[in-house]
Amino acid sequence: MELLISDGHLLSWLIFIPLIGAGLLMVVPGEENQRRVALVVTVFNAILSFKLWNNFDATTANLQFGEKMAWIPTLNINYTLGVDGISILLIMLTTLVMPLCVLGSWTYIGKRIREFFVCLLVMEMAMIGVFAAMDFVLFYIFWELMLIPMYLLIAIWGGDQKKYASIKFFLYTLAGSVLMLAAIIALWLQNNYSFYIPDMMGQPYSSLFQTLVFLAFFLAFAIKVPMFPVHTWLPAAHVQAPAAGSVILASVLLKMGTYGFLRFCLPITPEATLMLAPYILWLAVAGVLYGGFTALAQSDMKKLIAYSSVGHMGFVVLGIFVLNQTGLEGSLIQMVNHGVTTGALFLMIGMIYERSHSREMKDHSGMAYTHPIFVTFFTIFAMSSLGFPATNSFIGEFLILAGAFADNKIVAGVSIIGAVLAAAYMLRLLQYVLFKGEGRSDLSDLNFREIVTLTPFFVFVFWIGLAPEPFMNVMHTSVAYLLQQVDAAQAGQAVANLVVH
């Protein structure tokens, strides 16, 4: 995995434009202007990110758009950035979701507009930074930095139980990642004082060391995903966060956990991965089933979607730890799908909440009779969420299940139940919202801004659902290379066993 240095500093621009925008927001007067500035900055960043997409070379697993600068020489910490087929989709997802978050909170946020958008922009910077950082310390800094704006988003603009939710979110995530810091330092010592992430891959660490490092990483990422049984912060945070906060949480933040598995656990500690994968698969299945059953029992729509996230992310983890090309690619595309679909659903619930100040299903029954535009979008996203053919999630879940059947038929068989549950809770939600009861004529239907906000999600639902090739193409090489790294460890283990016998 080489770092191909490029001169344009495109990644740095993507990371720091939001920060510059945040600085600009500090001095812009007037709430309307502040909204516009935030929108312009995020849209500009999104457009700029297409330059990344267009110039990305999908035929190589090397890190592209690389940048490297000495930062803290005494510790050999560098400012290193790079993208490969695994991270590019997530960076694109981030840059594209952010303008929609700004649009989605246009009227939703009524107080402290300036601070809200500053938080949002700092958030964007940290998220892109996490996906682009190739130096461990840089990665960790972005990873932790994210907690501050996210905490404020929930704590200031959140719902009634914001105190509880925000502190729980912060404590869980921070407690999970402190051991990761120790693991990072341990890896640094083992690798000749290098914090460069690819340097740490494919090294002959002892089994014990690998297991310990794997577990330290796993705890941090499992909390972020979140996997059963450390998921309990998620429903609280999702329900209390403002709509844009929920969208960021669902679309991007949760992906950092699974991204961490792909970027660190698999290539750095392959032996431990192989050893522990069977257990993690069952944990993932437990998450799928648990999320499904709990979602079935919710009457709060936001909570329902939050628990469905636990189930969907369980599928993603499942796809990663079956450790074959189909499963991994399914996971990656499903990460994007979940970002699109769940992000859209959270935005829509935010739109209802803005009108009725309720998230209860029973307060919004029978909307099919009164709100045709809303219901059309809602149905499409709900169908996408349950993995209906021709929508994006179908592709992802299909690939993950195909990969799972190739690896472990029992696990795959049990996880099918999760897919059925997804259909059950989503259809139950739809049935309530669409047809049960009279409908409410006191609430207005979606306005033009909201339709514009939802349209990109709509486009991606069908684009990925019907023609996933452009999205799949970028990842083939990198995923194959990742699997090679894991297989190399397996082969090494086999040789070692032969020698012993």
Contacts with other proteins, residue ranges (CB under 8 A): 71-75, 115, 137, 140-142, 144-145, 147-148, 151-152, 155-156, 158, 162-163, 166-167, 170-171, 174-175, 178-179, 181-182, 185-186, 188-189
d(CA 163, CA 147): 15
In contact, 265 and 217? CB cutoff 8 Å:
yes
| Cβ 318 to other proteins shortest distance, Å | 29
Tell me how crowded residue 342 is: count the other CB atoms within 10 A of its CB. 27
The distance of closest approach from Cβ of residue 167 to other proteins in the complex, given in angstroms and rounded to an integer, is 6
Q: How many CB atoms lie within 10 A of CB 43?
A: 17
How many C-beta neighbours within 10 Å does residue 34 have?
Answer: 20
Q: Which of 51, 41, 47, 50 is nearest to 20 (CA)?
A: 41
Q: 485, 484, 324: which is closest to 404 by C-alpha? A: 324
Cβ distance to other proteins smaller for residue 48 or 186: 186
Nearest distance, CB of residue 190 and other proteins, angstroms: 11
Q: Would you call 75 helix, strand, or coil by DSSP? A: helix
Minimal distance in Å, beta carbon 73 to other proteins?
7
Residue tagged 């437990």 (tokens): 286
Nearest approach in angstroms of CB 45 to other proteins is 20
- Of the two residues 163 and 362, which places its CB atom closer to other proteins in the complex? 163
Task: Rank residues 185 and 286 by Cβ distance to other proteins and give the closer one.
Answer: 185
Nearer to other proteins, 181 or 423 (CB): 181
- The CB-of-84 to other proteins minimum distance in angstroms stands at 24
473 — phi, psi (to 5°)? Answer: -60, -40
Q: Which is nearer to other proteins, 175 or 495 (CB)?
A: 175
Report the alpha-carbon distance of residue 398 to residue 136 in Å, rounded: 34
Q: Which is nearer to other proteins, 185 or 423 (CB)?
A: 185
Q: H or E segment at 375?
A: helix 372-385
Minimum separation from the CB atom of position 217 to other proteins (A) = 14
- Closest by Cα among 346, 229, 333, 352 to 286: 229
Q: Which is nearer to other proteins, 58 or 156 (CB)?
A: 156
User: What is the Cα–Cα distance from 455 to 463, expressed in whole angstroms?
Assistant: 12
